[in-house]
Structure 1
Amino acid sequence: MDFTKKEIQSAFWQLLEERPFGKITVKAVVARCGVNRNTFYYHFQDLHDLLRKSVLSWLDELFADEPGAAAVVAKLSQRRAAIMHIYKSLPRETFIEELGFWTRYAVARRVGAGESRLFAEKENRELLLSVCRFALVGFLLDWLEGDMGSDLGKNLSRCAELLKNFSLPPSLPPPRFENPAPVTSAGELRARRVDRWNLPARRRSFFSPSCFFCPLWYHPTVGYCFIMINY
């Protein structure tokens, strides 16, 4: 990473430890790290861009040594003040959107590589990543709403253990439809109308012409349903 860019992000984290995100300005950031505004805008579009990229850079540092869930949560707790300032300053919809972006990046980096051998198929791997991402967002939101007081590391470690014993079956091939042979008689046509519902043979007699001797079929609703089923 560029040294100047790293210094700007370091100054930004220092300010986040001291004040809410909404009270941090570009002027305060450049004054803290000793660069001018032009240098800031050369590396970042605005403060929100700085926030997103700073978190992504931090995630790269967190997962550099492939730590366990408990170790990651411990490192998150070390920046508790900064995280809570972000959580309480951003509008909830904006925060959830950013949290979804960060968790997608983290899950793809941590889970996507580790489970690639078990989930070689792209469809299964994408499904696994989506499940993990949504679950992680829910865990993190509950953790933040509880002022980061619950044991998030323990819960994530239990989920990781369950994931090791979890596997998805291979994707089934799409169904193949064949053109039926031409109908040669009215009886064969009636049989096909019943067979398309995959009814067992013992129930096919239920739709035989003798059923019309039952007064129940002359009820308007029952009779209509019977006709729709057969046609």
Structure 2
Amino acid sequence: MTIQKRLQQVQQQIAEACRRAGRSPEEITIVAVTKTVGMDKTKEVLAAGVKHLGENRSEGLLPKHKEIGTDAIWHFIGSLQTRKVKEVVDKLDYLHSLDRLSLAQEIHKRAEHTVRCFVQVKTSAEESKQGLPPEEAAAFVKELAAYPKIEVIGLMTMAPYTENEDTIRACFRTLRRVQEDVQALQLPHAPCLELSMGMSNDFVIAVEEGATYVRLGTVLVGTEQEGEA
């Protein structure tokens, strides 16, 4: 199946979820997670009309950014090591994984422009998941006022990989509650209008629960082994 066909299917699913939730599909930004595919397939994603690309390692981001440049809008979606900030910060349009002050300090030190960030919140009990506890997120966002090069445009979370829909919804609803707490603070540096949540296995639920950015890998780009590129 071509990426164009996959995109049409994803857009249809998003449209149906939006109808159920009383939303507009225009509220949803699709981020194509290209971290597992090479340059040819990444360019196929762009040709299909998806301009938002997500990478989770500097080793994946930098060569693609060098060749594609501003033809794409670049999202860093994985945990960013402090020592890697200087390599990628001025290549990024969005960072989805701000979760500690040491990272904020390094971004502020190294960035030449304001970086649009999602604060990562851990809404599940899974040990493998990263992020701030929900009860600490609003206070953390307040502290980020000390770093003017950081704009908190929203929050990000990952639900556990499970078929239990109630568990997934609970994670996404927790993130919405944290968003409401942050918005109530009316912080100039943290409008917090966006929610980055939902991946290939749960993006439909995420849209129903208020996601504005969904991060889609295999359901959209497939894998390098499928011979689509």
Range class of TM-score, shorter chain: under 0.3
Determine which structure has more spread, i.e. the larger CA radius of gyration. Answer: 1
Which one scores higher on RCO, CA 8 angstroms, separation ≥ 6? Answer: 2
Q: Which has the higher strand share?
A: 2
More helix by share: 1
